[in-house]
Each structure stands twice: as C-alpha cells, then as structure tokens.
Amino acid sequence: MSAGDKLPLAKNRSDEITAEDAVRVLGDAAVAAGRLARGMRAKGLKTWIKGKESPVSDADIAADALLRERLTAAAPHYEWLSEESAEIEGKPSHRRRWVVDPIDGTRAFIKGQSDWSVSVALIEDGRPIAAALFVPETEELFTAVAGKGAAKNDTKIHVSHRSALEGARIAGPAFMLQKLEGRRLRFESVPRIHSLALRFVRAATGEIDLAISSRNSRDWDLAAADLILHQAGGTLTDADGVNIVYGHPGAQHPPLLACGLGLHPAALAVAGKIFADTAA
C-alpha cells in the first residue's frame, strides 16, 4: 500500500478486523497524521516540555487526535496506548491494542530535520500483527502484516544479508558506537537517526546492517518497527536475544539491537559490552 491509497474496510467472521484490514487503516491514518504535522510546522509550532525534559508540540497533540479518531473508528473496542496518553485506555481485557507514537523524533521534528516519523501498530497478545510507519519528509510508507512480509510504498523490503560486523554499517547513540570502536572493530558509523522507530526500520530495508538503542524506550517507540523488521527477515531483541513482549504501559525496555538474522549472532556476541552501564 502506497501513501494515500484507500481501500474499503472489511470484518472477519468474529467481527474483528483482519490484520490486512488493520494495516490499511494504520497506513492511511499515519499518512494523514504525518502530513497534518508537517503542515502545522510550516505555519509555526507551539512547543513546551512535558515531564522532566521531553519536548512536545501542538502538532504532536493534533496528530494524536487524528490517529485516535481514525483507529478507534475502525475498532472502537480495542485498547488504546499512545505516547501522548501513556496509559492504556479502552476495554482492559481485550486481546488487541492500538499502539501509537504520533511523532517519533519530536526534537528533530521541531528543529525542522527530516528524521522523524509517525509510528502505529496493532498488538495482539503482546506482539504486533499489523504496522505502519510514515516518514513525511520523504513520503515513505512502511507497512507490515504478520506472516505477510514488509514493504516500502508497495515494494517488498529485506534486511541485509551480512553475517559479520567487520565493515558493517551501524547506527546508534555515539557513546555506544565508541564502545564498539574500543573493540578495534572496523565498521561504518551511520549518523544517528533521531526517530528510534525509523532507525530500526532502516535496518529492515538493508540501508544499515545494525541499529542499536540505549535503554528506556517504550512500547510506542518500538511496536511498528518491530513487526516491519521481523517481516523483512530481521529481528529486534535485547542483549540476551529475547524478543519484546508488549503490554505494560509503564514498561521501559532495555538496550536493544536490530539486524538481520544472519548478523544477529555476531551482534549478540558484543552486545553485553556495548550495552553495559548505558544511560537513557
């Protein structure tokens, strides 16, 4: 599905939308929210700080409201979790949940940089089954359905086939890359991609071989990229090789790595050293 495409919504026999229907809703909503935010920035943003140090803008709030309207209209009985609410809403016993980051990379967005995204996913029993990530500055729409592969603007994507870290293209926080350099490993350092979801998705396309993150990411940062990466032949795990289970709104995840399955053993071999004593 390319940016802007719209197809009619259907229901399966249990009156739940299928994952294929969900990805259409997610993609359409992500594109609309991203274009709304981009347009608001062009006219001038209102910004403030939430919590201790997290920036937010009126575009974050507007995009969140649009996503809530579109997604809950498609399945109003599903749970809802967004960065802008940070708590689960809806029927607490439901197996499915919309997980939303209306602007991932808000600092970059506010500064007028290009590496921000809209990241949305549908979770079932702790794992994503449909996902979309839209990059408004480049009009890239990434989508995935569990068991159906991943695509960028309707073209299938796949992780790189690299199996060794030597010479790999690696993206992540500078202090973590410095730890790799300290191991006398030769690799190409990729400038940090401020949207964490987009950083991991760039590994799904093979544009980079390994993406890493420090601790304290949240479900909304990860869910869409997680599915896109897995459906592109990769994986997203902690230093022990364990996949993420989504479902606890307050959960802060440990340092993570994203890469192709062929590179995963080599990445895990150095992950403990890279991730040790990392800060948020």
Task: Give residue 183's pLDDT.
Answer: 73
CA-CA distance, 133 to 259, in Å (whole number)?
18
Distance spanning both ends of the chain, measured CA to CA: 35
Structure tokens at 171: 């993206």
Structure tokens at 81: 């979790």
Question: Domain 169-275 maps to which CATH number in 1.20.58.220, 3.40.50.2000, 3.40.190.80, 3.40.366.10?
Answer: 3.40.190.80
Task: Give residue 276's pLDDT.
Answer: 77
pTM of the predicted structure, to 2 decimals: 0.91
Written as one string, the DSSP assignment of 76-118 is TTSEEEETTT-S-BS-TT-SEEEEEEEEESHHHHHHT-S--EE
Query: Quick check: helix, strand or coil at residue 151?
Result: strand
Q: 193: closest CA among 279, 105, 100?
A: 105
Taking only the tens of pLDDT, the chain with its 280 residues reads 555 554 444 444 356 899 999 999 999 999 999 999 999 999 999 999 987 788 999 999 999 999 999 999 999 999 999 999 766 665 555 689 999 999 999 999 999 999 999 999 999 999 999 999 999 999 999 999 999 999 999 999 999 999 999 999 999 999 999 888 877 788 999 988 999 999 999 999 999 999 999 999 999 999 999 999 999 999 999 999 999 999 876 779 999 999 999 999 999 999 988 887 554 3
Q: 124: closest CA among 156, 106, 147?
A: 147
Q: 247: closest CA among 104, 97, 120, 100?
A: 97
CA-CA distance, 10 to 21, in Å (whole number)?
6
CA-CA distance, 266 to 217, in Å (whole number)?
23
Task: Give residue 51's pLDDT.
Answer: 77
CB atoms closer than 10 angstroms to residue 11? 12
**β-pair partners for 205:** none
Domain ranges of the chain: 19-156, 169-275
Signed CA dihedral, 168, 174, 176, 177: sign only: positive
Task: Give residue 249's pLDDT.
Answer: 63
CA-CA distance, 244 to 241, in Å (whole number)?
10
Structure tokens at 182: 């300290």
Task: Give residue 10's pLDDT.
Answer: 45
* Domain 19-156, second-level architecture: 2-Layer Sandwich (3.30)
130: enclosing H helix or E strand: strand 127-135
**β-pair partners for 149:** 145
Structure tokens at 85: 């609410």
What are φ and ψ of residue 19, in 5° steps?
-60, -35
CA-CA distance, 89 to 62, in Å (whole number)?
18
CA-CA distance, 101 to 129, in Å (whole number)?
17
For strands 117-124 and 79-82, give the pairing: unpaired
Residue 163 makes CB contacts below 8 A (sequence gap 6+) with: 262, 263, 266
